Amino acid sequence: VRSAAQWADFGRDHVSHGLGRLRDHVIVKGEGLDLHTADGKKLLDFTAGIGVTNLGHCHPAVSQAAAAQVNTLVHLQCSIGFHAPYLQLIDRLLPVMPHQSLDQFFFWNSGSEAVEAAVKVARKATGRQNIIVFQGAYHGRTMGSGAMTRSKPIYTQGTGPLMPGVFASAYPYWHGLGVSPSTSEEELVRLAKHQLDLVLRQQTSPTDVAAIFIEPVQGEGGYVPCPPAFLHYLREVCDKHGIKLVIDEVQTGFFRTGKYFAIDHITPSFRPDIMVFAKGVANGFPISGIVANKETMDTLDVGSMGGTYAGNAVACAAGVAAQDVYASGEIEANVAARSEQLYATLNKLATSSKTKHLIADVRGLGLMSAIEFRNPADSLTQEGLPEGTSIPKSIGKRVQEHCLDNDLLVLTTSCFDTIRFIPALVCTEEQMTRAMGIFTEAVEKVAL
């Protein structure tokens, strides 16, 4: 029998060095927003598995549905036939699709696989090869999805060549466009449109482009909501040139941003050609999916898609139970209340005389929100800084350390000096108050 410390040593000795970790906690149990460690600590989890356990760890309805399925049918390879939970999950998802044209599904295991499936579908449907993504994007770390990730080179450093034919344009965001954080949304959209026009004039002919992929709130790139006007522009460009518009809702889906999908914030209803989802769909069971309109999906050859575990029965059953909880309306209401509480704290820090000099930006949508600190290595974030004020480096890391020392798990993002907040959507008022207390204390401590 190993002690908690011995298990942590064992992990350090034998778990691949290629994985990073916040801390070497050995987690033995999860319940709502609480994670229990092998040495008896209780951590408040504001990471939710990076936006996966939206209903909290081990949500009873999801766990019970999965347990029942374990004793009924665990696996049926998807080319053998349909299984009941697969069809039930589609039945639950159909009515909540952001656009009624999205009615052809298949499931995969991870977000990256769904992204790559979308590349295949878009290429097959258009007979073209090139893909356009946005700077700061995260679509995965495999050879195809990794080529489409533009948030941090470490994900693919030294491991190329990756999938060719991927071009990146600027996301409508001040960092990517090299303008000040106070630039108006209208101006950001104008600049980003111009950049995309240049990509299509100077780098790839639109007639070679199969798809444009975009995250409606850029995730690993810094929790940056995309202005709806830019999404409308992408729709226009895609329609004009016969390009497929792929919305990556892997991190933003399932009420993370306050609505079922992030593009549900756009009215009237927004029409992607293809959408990919994962993470929150089954609250922790490994399943992802791709949905497209019939015209697009029907171009696939029979048997060209599939995989051994894709659309696993236990994961589908968990997904069905999760959709029933999402459909109740309670989650949507709670995200609205908790995000208001979260923003009140972040905005207070951004205006308080004690801490405002540290903060460059507060942004996000729903419970996918972030605070960015000024960084002496990044001149854009120095705007408005009173003369003679000195800003320490890596404030985010130091704030995060303080939170971790006080048993609050929070993440930074891949880009910039940012702390992001993605608690389970069942977060209580008390848990949010507690987390914001620890976080405020951390920022004030760094400000001293």
Which residues are near ligand PMP by CB under 6 A?
50, 110-112, 115, 138-140, 215, 219-220, 248, 250-251, 278
Minimal distance, residue 138 CB to ligand PMP, in Å: 5
Minimal distance, residue 53 CB to ligand PMP, in Å: 13
Phi, psi of 133 (to 5 degrees): -125, -175
- Euclidean distance between CA atoms 287 and 165, whole angstroms: 28
Beta strands in 196-287, from DSSP E residues, in sequence order: 209-214, 217-218, 224-225, 244-248, 274-277
Closest of 51, 328, 335 to residue 217, by C-alpha: 51
DSSP string, 144-197: TTTTT--S-GGGTTTS----S-EEEE--SSHHHHT--TT--HHHHHHHHHHHHH
Is-contact 423 432, C-beta < 8 A? yes
Sign of the Cα torsion 24, 29, 35, 40 reads negative
- Euclidean distance between CA atoms 158 and 200, whole angstroms: 29
Nearer to ligand PMP, 359 or 422 (CB): 422
Minimal distance, residue 114 CB to ligand PMP, in Å: 8
Nearer to ligand PMP, 139 or 150 (CB): 139
Nearer to ligand PMP, 144 or 396 (CB): 144
Task: Name residue 329's beta-bridge partners.
Answer: none
- Euclidean distance between CA atoms 287 and 118, whole angstroms: 15
- Euclidean distance between CA atoms 385 and 139, whole angstroms: 35
Minimal distance, residue 419 CB to ligand PMP, in Å: 17
Identity of the residue numbered 61: A
Minimal distance, residue 233 CB to ligand PMP, in Å: 20
DSSP string, 291-328: EE-HHHHTTSPTTSS--SSTT-HHHHHHHHHHHHHHTT
Nearer to ligand PMP, 256 or 374 (CB): 256
Find the farthest-apart pair of alpha carbons in the chain and give their distance in angstroms, rounded.
69
Nearer to ligand PMP, 138 or 402 (CB): 138
Nearer to ligand PMP, 140 or 396 (CB): 140
Nearer to ligand PMP, 410 or 438 (CB): 410
Minimal distance, residue 137 CB to ligand PMP, in Å: 8
Instruction: Report the Cα 319 to chain-centroid distance in Å.
Output: 18
Minimal distance, residue 276 CB to ligand PMP, in Å: 7
Minimal distance, residue 266 CB to ligand PMP, in Å: 18
Minimal distance, residue 391 CB to ligand PMP, in Å: 29
Nearer to ligand PMP, 291 or 358 (CB): 291
Closest residue to ligand PMP: CB criterion: 111
- Euclidean distance between CA atoms 394 and 396, whole angstroms: 5
Nearer to ligand PMP, 122 or 349 (CB): 122
